[in-house]
Amino acid sequence: MKREWKSFRISLLLYFAVLTLPLGALIGYRVYDDVGKTVTVLKQLMEVPEGLLLREKNGLTDKEKRKIARINADVETIGNWVREHRNDPDFVGGGTLQESFDRFSTCWKKGSGISSAECMNAIDSLVFSVDRMYLLKEARFKNILAVVVLGTIFILLLVIYSVRTYIAYQMKRTAVHDFATTLYNHQFLDEVFRRMCAEMKRYGRHFTVLQLQIPALLPESGKFSEEKRMQMLQSVGSGIWDLIRDSDIACHTEENSFVLLLPETTAEQSGVVKNRLEKSLARKLGKEVDMHFKTCEVTDERGCETARKECVFS
């Protein structure tokens, strides 16, 4: 027997899918925050050449003095960022990031002019390194975001599939109808047959069991493809529903076996149902498809046992 997948396991899978959202958001935020800080450092570095030029100028205005002071504070901020990223794998350039910053910081603190080739090379080298780091971090952020989104979607689809499978399993286990034919299934037939036998014994009622077997519907017969066989099962189910009375019970018990419970019907009277059903199914399935009928009339307790063995679950 196939082991049932408990519902709490599906719930755990659902909780895991939900938890991936904040976890993915946390990972993405850390990378995004790093990208944002790198952009800020890059913008601050772009203002340093102008600051160097202002420091060589005489008679600075208050606005220019404030700008130099701000750039001076920015250099300290850049230094803190460099110390945090001294071993950053995204660094591209000669030496290390700290060495590149030290050359830049020395240039700024000495106040070398904008025309100084050594100073400009130091600034350009650091700007190039930070710019490359920004591009690499941005690409990593996009990759992480894509992985998190795709991973979350995959887990959610897996949860949806699992829930649908579980619901379908529960429906098949508890349903009273056969999904292929829309007739009642063998579990429902067993319960109804027991009830009708009890009513027969208590109230003296009688009924007839009409069994129909179609060998061609067996999967191992190999006469039809699976798709064609399912279509034929649907045709048999609709054909039976069209002919029986509201009080009759029609069931699909096995692959090729169908059982009709006909209350207050004798074996002779059930022959009318048999003939009509045979003609109707011959039109739907084709005359070359063989059909075998068996009739069991139930009038006493012994008849119930006989009908069960020969017509109901034979």
Across the chain, which has 314 residues, the per-10-residue mean pLDDT values are 52 72 75 84 84 75 85 87 85 80 80 60 84 86 82 79 73 71 88 92 91 90 86 91 90 91 92 92 86 93 89 81
* Residue 222 domain-assigned (yes or no): yes
The total domain count for the chain is 2
Asked if residues 253 and 193 have their Cβ atoms less than 8 Å apart, the reply is: no
Residues 28 and 109 both lie in one domain: yes
Residues 160 and 229 both lie in one domain: no
Distance CA 44, CA 50 (A): 11
Residues 15 and 145 both lie in one domain: yes
Q: List, for residues 11-32, the tens digit of each pLDDT value.
A: 776 777 677 777 777 777 787 8
Residues 121 and 224 both lie in one domain: no
Residues 95 and 157 both lie in one domain: yes
Phi, psi of 178 (to 5 degrees): -85, 130
Say what the pTM is: 0.48
Q: List, for residues 139-170, the tens digit of each pLDDT value.
A: 888 888 888 778 878 877 877 777 777 776 66
Residues 222 and 148 both lie in one domain: no
Residues 222 and 164 both lie in one domain: no
* Residue 177 domain-assigned (yes or no): no
* 3-class secondary structure, 288: coil
Residues 37 and 62 both lie in one domain: yes
Q: Indicate which CATH number applies to the domain containing 212.
A: 3.30.70.270
Distance CA 35, CA 137 (A): 6
**Of 102, 136, 169, the domain-final residue:** 169
**Of 169, 201, 217, the domain-final residue:** 169
AA letter at 174: T
Q: Provide the pLDDT for residue 26.
A: 77
Residues 15 and 150 both lie in one domain: yes
* Residue 212 domain-assigned (yes or no): yes
The residue segments making up the domain with residue 298 are 186-312
Whose tokens are 């700024």? That residue is 108
Q: With residue 136 as reference, give the H or E element that holds it.
A: helix 117-174
Residues 13 and 107 both lie in one domain: yes
Residues 98 and 235 both lie in one domain: no
* Residue 176 domain-assigned (yes or no): no
